[in-house]
Structure 1
Amino acid sequence: MKKFLALILALVMALSLVACGEKKDDTKTDGDTATGSVYYLNFKPESDAAWQTLAAAYTAETGVPVKVVTAASGQYDTTLTAEMDKDAAPTMFQVGNLGAVNSYGEFCYNLEGTDVYNQMTTHDFDLKNADGETVSIGYCYEAFGIIVNKALLEKAGHSLDEITNFESLKAVADDIHARAAELGFDAFTSAGLDGSSSWRFSGHLANMPLFYEFRDDNVTAQPATIKGTYLDNYKAIWDLYTTDSATTGAALLSATGDQAEAEFGEGKAVFYQNGTWEFSNLTSAEKFGMNADDLAMIPIYCGVEGEEKAGLCCGTENCWAVNKNASEADIKATLDFMNWVVTSDAGTTMLAEQFGPCPFKNAKTPENVFFAQANEYVANGNYTVTWAFNWTPAVDDWRAAVVDALGKYTADGGSWDTVKTAFVEGWATQYANEH
């Protein structure tokens, strides 16, 4: 990040010197530079500073105003709905799954044939509407699993080689938790159910039972109903998270994402369920300064037969869309900005540092070790756990009900049947509401 900011600062200073001798006329088109403006509603709070810096650099270079607004964690859908009702609506926004296509597809510009579309090296994760138009493009790929502090693991007398399935993960975690007082750290970070953290469990952890059920049943499109075949496995890993941790019971209802990140970054826990996007935060000197060599990511094991051959959970919900209802000038400005982001040195540097591997011809190779490990699992013949949660209907409402049920089960000693009901019956209800 320091390298990226230094690069941008130098660029802005140089352009400022040029601007002193020549005033830019923003009312005229100069070559392919748009005369409109860009308003990007950003999906990821952790990348806000990088986007703000990049937007300023682009404006300094082209004179085109770029506004970046970042939605609060877990509030993107609500924020987008409110912003799209305004006269000055976002020109660039996130449409990351089929539910979002159903909700916002009518606002989406067909991106096929645009410069940014033609820069892509794969369209496997792009999303189309019912007419077959590409309404959003996947601009990066991510992986999630259980992040491990190898140094702490070894300090506790264990190694990564021991952990090959749920049984072995539980054995190691149980031992660390039992000796937490003497070790000075616990097994898992807090599995907080505050909105800044709960998506890790109602979305990413919920992917595990969904993936295996859909794999068994050969599901290839969003199903109207689900069976919950693997919900006992979901329960097993959730119980492990919430037992072998310093934060348990009712305290989890208000535990935040920042709290869990700090517990891991400050060496208070060995295991932390999260994704590749956490690498820069964990290793940056400005935050925790962890040694990249001490970090690893392992699959989320939950006791499914054959999971010894599982890899990481890979996919994306990071997909850009353009507002087709914006003015022609703003649409052109937005498409030009997107193309600059994926082709310029400043843009590709930021994407590599913040988002990892990106499917564009000029993309830089990221230094993120988690991606190297994801590729290593694939190279070793392990199967990739794809992002089945992308098919969740009315995703915010469905997840909210699952979180509420998890809270009742965890904090109040409620029945696991409450979670099953929210999971299975909630899916059918939300699907029916959407269709």
Structure 2
Amino acid sequence: MKKRVFATLLSGVLVASLLSGCGGSDKKAETKASGGSASASGSVYYLNFKPEADAAWQELAAKYTEQTGVEVKVVTAASGEYENTLTTEMSKSSAPTLFQCGNQAALDTWKDYCLDLTDTDVYKEMTTDDFNLKGENGEVYAIGYCYEAFGIITNKALLAEAGYDVADIKDFESLKKVAEDITARKDELGFSAFSSAGLDGSSSWRFSGHLMNMPLFYEFRDDNVTSQPATVTGAYLDNFKAIWDLYINNATCEPNQIVTKTGDESEAEFGKGEAVFFQNGTWEYSNLVVDESKGFKMNPDDLTMIPIYCGVEGEEEAGLCCGTENCWAVNSQASEEDIQATLDFMKWVVTSDEGTTMMAEQFGPIPFKNAKESENVFFTAANDYISNGKYVVTWAFNYTPNVDAWREAVVSALTQYSANNGSWDNVVTAYVNGWATQYQQQ
């Protein structure tokens, strides 16, 4: 969700340039919304924002083309570059016909390019409306095609070697106790507590987005926030600091080395048994237990996911961070033939054996009638927490204004702090002042 940029927000100048000439598209969109049979007269261009799923999408697209004769082009934006790539591609004559609209703010930007999917065949295959993005009058402009969870992926076998069980970790204090004990014995044990908290662009989203979700979630929960706020207070940034310090001081590398550590390195450290804990999401399952090309293949029985604990009162009742920014939108400005080809392709993805198999392997549960059960143990963990009455930590980072710019400032401040070249006050400034600035500039 691996990753990774989740929102698509543009400056006023870009929005004005892209949305000019869009008048009168509603009637055109209505004629394109109905279902229909696949036709080689149209083609599909999917701009994918999940680099970790690129190979799977390319293979699936090729299968569909082989079966139907319909061309399906999949282009995957580089990690952290989806906003820029979408802006560039949408300005071309051959713009994407299928793209991501990750949250309500992105929908506000792109809704004139979003087809109302209410009467389409792919929408009629859905089993829930909970993850969809809608317009003011109930139009379904983007459909959540999967849902995800993230937390601290845990190697239960290594944890047992260290003398602990997952049940021993119930809050921040117990997590801290386990992590620091492993660090104290890491030479004896042969592994560290945490994999590297890399701040390279391929990894930093895990912290500027996912870990920063923790203070955002609790602040928004206290303040009953239900839409993007103009300002944030940073009321729970001390909790963020506590878990961040635990990560970087009990890891496979020294804090001043994380600036160059990549997502692949962190994943490999965990996959090869060099660390007990690895903050990431359900999307990592395939990378860890299926794909052998990376030099490791883990036993799913050794894996689970625990909540991100950060010292908030009552957090022993918390579950995993669950939600989605995986929402498909269809370009209403494309030709009728390309829109129909795109709708047909989407329906095939969520109903065919080939499509539902890929979706189950790559994304886990999908909210469609023909969804296959996932073997993903991380989803099992998420469901177990929910069934045991734990509260879901929702995705508060969906409200981030100008997400790339805001996160970039946060990462810069975290980098300086972690290398002992800057104070924690810089992180607070990036969080609080940066939010207000980006809100005003969007």
The two structures have a TM-score, normalised by structure 2, of 0.90
Q: Which residue of 2 aligns with 1:366?
A: 374
Select the residue among 238, 255, 263 that pairs with 2:269: 263
* 3-state SS of paired residue (1:90): coil
8 Å CA contact 2:252–2:274 kept in 1: the answer is no
Q: State whether structure 2 residue 148 is matched by structure 1 residue 142.
A: yes
Q: Residues 321-350 of structure 1: CA distance to partner in whole angstroms, max 9, x if unpaired?
A: 111111110000000100110011111111
Q: Give the residue type in structure 2 aligned to 1:358.
A: I
8 Å CA contact 1:114–1:335 kept in 2: the answer is yes
Q: Which residue of 1 aligns with 2:91?
A: 85
Q: Which residue of 1 aligns with 2:431?
A: 423
CA 1:411–1:354: 2 relative to 1, 3 Å: same
Per-residue deviation at 1:104?
2.3
8 Å CA contact 1:348–1:362 kept in 2: the answer is yes
Q: Which residue of 2 aligns with 1:33?
A: 38
Select the residue among 41, 51, 56 that pairs with 2:57: 51
Q: What is the correspondence of 1:64-103 to structure 2 with a 5 Å cutoff?
A: 64-103=70-109
Distance in 2, Cα, partners of 1:193 & 1:177 = 21
Q: State whether structure 2 residue 126 is matched by structure 1 residue 120.
A: yes
Select the residue among 215, 223, 226 that pairs with 1:220: 226
Per-residue deviation at 1:130?
4.6
Per-residue deviation at 1:269?
0.3
- Percent identical across equivalent pairs? 69
Per-residue deviation at 1:138?
0.3
Q: Which stretch has the larger CA shift, 127-136 or 409-418?
A: 127-136
8 Å CA contact 1:99–1:394 kept in 2: the answer is no
Q: Which residue of 1 aligns with 2:386?
A: 378
Q: Structure 1 regions of 5+ residues with no counterpart? A: 1-30
Distance in 2, Cα, partners of 1:250 & 1:326 = 48
Select the residue among 101, 104, 114 that pairs with 1:108: 114
Q: State whether structure 2 residue 422 is matched by structure 1 residue 392.
A: no
Select the residue among 316, 322, 333 that pairs with 2:341: 333
Q: Give the residue type in structure 1 aligned to 2:38.
A: T
Q: Structure 2 regions of 5+ residues with no counterpart? A: 1-35
CA 1:404–1:285: 2 relative to 1, 3 Å: closer
Q: State whether structure 2 residue 438 is matched by structure 1 residue 433.
A: no
Distance in 1, Cα, partners of 2:436 & 2:53 = 34
Q: What is the correspondence of 1:107-256 to structure 2 with a 5 Å cutoff?
A: 107-130=113-136, 132-256=138-262
8 Å CA contact 2:193–2:250 kept in 1: the answer is yes
* 3-state SS of paired residue (2:371): coil
Per-residue deviation at 1:131?
5.2
8 Å CA contact 1:99–1:395 kept in 2: the answer is no
8 Å CA contact 1:37–1:66 kept in 2: the answer is yes
Q: Which stretch has the larger CA shift, 282-291 or 398-407?
A: 282-291
Distance in 1, Cα, partners of 2:421 & 2:427 = 12
Per-residue deviation at 1:132?
4.1
Distance in 1, Cα, partners of 2:291 & 2:323 = 28
8 Å CA contact 2:157–2:302 kept in 1: the answer is yes
The two structures have a TM-score, normalised by structure 1, of 0.91
